[in-house]
Structure 1
């Protein structure tokens, strides 16, 4: 049973005490996602930024680490260059990364430190194929018209993963992101126009959006635009 340690700062958050048990990354993620404490159900594994902020002022035996210096590396939900997950040392804020070791954990809720925490949390839920949690995380961001969330939800909606499959709705989500300059949204809209999926087939519009994505160096967009122009 975790105790909860609240931080009264400009970036107020609630943290659980660190565990005395080590976990694989996937078990650590599930542990925090399933945690219920202090009347909250929005606990999650923290990002590397949150952990570094949390532990930048080292203390020998603070309330959030009752086990003292014997606890060292804690898991985060942040990836190094899209690959292995970052770990942060509770004692000095140092970072490492791995996918196959076991480490300690702490959970966080109600944190405003990292504005991209929702995206990393959704990616973590995707990693363990908890699609209901993925949708729960990204749906509120999509309602705010967040372009990254719109693309994420568009992909789920197009594939019918975690939500009902609806290509027309996926087109709308991708378009909302594309109009904000989101490159993957632009590439996706171009492909849907080319194939006539979720909308009528429109090669002129497909070329337009491929070129928009190409201007942002989105891989494959320039070649697709050239292929369609040469075929006309």
Structure 2
């Protein structure tokens, strides 16, 4: 499938990234994790001291990203920041606790929308995020919107982080999920909403294989 753009939006821990990677491989399209890009900027802000004790210095971040070189490698699923691999660092608890606050900053979203569109301008792609089908690629060939019960999403995220060596309390993960939902859906710029022409999939009781088959069937039907 040459140059098709597939947009996958939805809430945190609904299986977007896992499904997007599988679709990418199956269809022979590059994969881009847009959430990793926002996490990269959040990591940089923390490292540079632009976030301290719940204070976010927006002016410093805005000036800093103008000199930023951020790249997501679709082959290795790795993120580099100024040529430094930060793939593992962006998944930390600290980055997770601030990423939605950074993602709601208008200048951050405008900066990354431009980057994301450039990524899909030549060969098409599969991209997952919060506003891919509404703001980044409103004319995407295929759009999917993922949802699931918060408790199930928190359990998935907790298991994922435990497997990666992070020791967290389930209730803490659930609170983070709910907080992110609130920030994502209520932000003024590009809030998390379902595009009118997106196919909604509730993954609460579905396996990855079932979700994959639903998406492929929809793509093949078009």
Same fold? TM cut 0.5: no
Q: TM-score, normalised by structure 2?
A: 0.25
Q: Which has the higher helix share?
A: 2
Q: TM-score, normalised by structure 1?
A: 0.24
Higher RCO, Cα 8 Å, sep 6+: 2
Q: Which has the higher strand share?
A: 2
